[in-house]
């Protein structure tokens, strides 16, 4: 078939896709009416995961599954916005990795609010100025984000979803040669993730810590002899040159982000539950608190401790475990934990995110 003929066929297929997209949208609007009548949440993490999994299982190519997922993310994003405008707060500014994680989760059609701190993200959701918040919780190299953990101590917000984002850092600057750079701006965690590369390639350069990679890019764009470590998307936004790509020390640098809100996610086939608890000040207290999980065959995937900031040497423990809190075994284990701990709170049960 000639090029003209092939393009005519593509136009015909595009017309069919357009009709089906509008048909899908009309059904979504009907679903939205039912949800509104029953006072149900517009965003349902379990349903979102189900849609992706069904599509990927049916995909025979040549369209890659990641591309398919990206396309349907935007389709669902526009559908959510038509059902009811969704407001999402994230740790900003734009083109930080939390912003990119937010776009990966919700798509580009929802309304976004950039927040200066993790505290502000929680506040936006608590005060109903946002439906959901997106915050970092841990990095595969640098570990837990303590500020996020601490926020859950006093907040009643629930974790309703999670997302993993592969992190790649680049050295950006107005300069054309990295040897002309005298100072580098970036977030403290990012410096930690690129420590070896910086020591090997720019050992005498001054490192200046700022609140975000976007702030670092802004500063690098206005100063001679300055550079920043940020995402390549920031280069386009702030008109910077990319001098070195993928300068992170580990090839598997992944950050996990949490979606927080006021609604709880329903059980799916594969869930995770996050809890926090504190133990009484006695010998063997922590051991006793973990025994229920072993007895009921529940796998703990993560445990972190944080000082309570109320009494010296008193700690809160944060645990991720497999299963939804409504699962009979999980429910029984949590009931037993509550009896041997001085405080216990379920932070949320939610579908397991796709790790990279």
CATH number at residue 49: 3.40.190.10
Is a pLDDT exceeding 60 seen at residue 134? yes
Q: Calculate the average pLDDT of the chain.
A: 92
Sign of the C-alpha dihedral computed for residues 339, 341, 347 and 350 taken in this order: negative
Is a pLDDT exceeding 60 seen at residue 89? yes
Q: Which domain holds residue 66?
A: 41-167
3-state secondary structure labels for all residues of 192-203:
HHCHHHHHHHCC
- Given this model, what pLDDT does residue 312 score? 60
Same domain, 136 and 211: no
pLDDT tens string 179-189: 999 999 998 88
Residue 21 falls within a domain, yes or no? no
Is a pLDDT exceeding 70 seen at residue 137? yes
Same domain, 207 and 138: no
- Report the domain count for the chain: 3
Q: What band does 20 get if pLDDT is binned at 50, 70 and 90?
A: very high
**pTM for this predicted structure:** 0.85
- Given this model, what pLDDT does residue 85 score? 86
Same domain, 162 and 102: yes
Domain ends where: 252, 277, 299? 252
Q: What band does 313 get if pLDDT is binned at 50, 70 and 90?
A: low
pLDDT tens string 103-117: 999 999 999 999 989
Residue 225 falls within a domain, yes or no? yes
Residue 34 falls within a domain, yes or no? no
Same domain, 150 and 174: no
- Given this model, what pLDDT does residue 16 score? 97
Same domain, 139 and 199: no
For 104, phi then psi, to 5°, come to -65, -35
For 298, phi then psi, to 5°, come to -105, 125
Residue 63 falls within a domain, yes or no? yes
List the beta bridge partners of residue 185: 208, 228
pLDDT tens string 21-76: 999 999 999 998 998 898 888 888 889 999 999 999 999 989 999 999 999 999 99
Could you tell me if 257 and 189 are in contact, meaning their C-beta atoms sit under 8 angstroms apart? Answer: no
Q: What band does 150 get if pLDDT is binned at 50, 70 and 90?
A: very high
Is a pLDDT exceeding 90 seen at residue 281? no
User: Which of 230, 223, 224 lies closest to 244, judged by CA?
Assistant: 230
- Given this model, what pLDDT does residue 311 score? 65
CA dist 38 to 32, 41, 258, Å?
10, 9, 27
The share of the chain scoring above pLDDT 70, in percent, equals 98
Same domain, 274 and 228: no
Is a pLDDT exceeding 90 seen at residue 250? no
Same domain, 244 and 176: yes
Same domain, 76 and 122: yes
Is a pLDDT exceeding 90 seen at residue 143? no
pLDDT tens string 331-343: 999 999 999 998 9
Residue 109 falls within a domain, yes or no? yes
């Amino acid at each position: 078939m000639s090029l003209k003929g092939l393009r005519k066929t593509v136009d015909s297929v595009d017309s069919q896709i357009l009709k089906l997209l509008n048909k899908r949208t009309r059904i979504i609007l009907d679903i939205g009416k039912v949800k509104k009548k029953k006072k149900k949440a517009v965003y349902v993490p379990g349903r979102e995961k189900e849609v992706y999994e069904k599509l990927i299982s049916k995909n025979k190519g040549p369209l890659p599954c990641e591309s398919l997922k990206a396309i349907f993310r935007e389709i669902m994003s526009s559908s959510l916005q038509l059902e009811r405008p969704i407001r999402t707060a994230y740790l900003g500014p734009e083109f930080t990795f939390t912003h990119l994680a937010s776009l990966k989760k919700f798509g580009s059609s929802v309304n976004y609010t950039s927040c200066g701190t993790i505290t502000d993200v929680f506040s936006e959701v608590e005060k109903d100025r946002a439906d959901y918040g997106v915050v970092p919780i841990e990095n595969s190299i640098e570990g837990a984000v303590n500020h996020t953990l601490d926020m859950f101590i006093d907040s009643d917000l629930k974790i309703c979803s999670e997302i993993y984002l592969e992190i790649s850092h680049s050295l950006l600057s107005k300069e054309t040669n990295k040897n002309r750079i005298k100072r580098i701006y970036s977030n403290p965690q990012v410096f930690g993730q690129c420590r070896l590369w910086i020591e090997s390639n720019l050992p005498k350069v001054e490192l200046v810590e700022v609140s975000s990679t976007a702030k670092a890019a802004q500063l690098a764009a206005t100063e001679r002899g300055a550079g920043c470590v940020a995402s390549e998307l920031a280069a386009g936004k702030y008109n910077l040159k990319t001098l070195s790509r993928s300068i992170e020390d580990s090839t598997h640098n992944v950050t996990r982000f949490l979606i927080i809100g006021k609604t709880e996610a329903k059980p799916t086939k594969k869930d995770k539950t996050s809890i926090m608890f504190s133990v009484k000040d006695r010998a063997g207290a922590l051991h006793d608190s973990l025994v229920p999980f072993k007895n009921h065959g529940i796998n703990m995937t993560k445990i972190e401790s944080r000082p309570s900031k109320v009494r010296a040497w008193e700690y809160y423990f944060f645990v991720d475990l497999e299963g939804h809190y409504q699962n009979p075994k999980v429910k029984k284990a949590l009931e037993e934990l509550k009896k041997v701990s001085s405080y216990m709170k379920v932070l949320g049960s939610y579908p397991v995110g796709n790790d990279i």
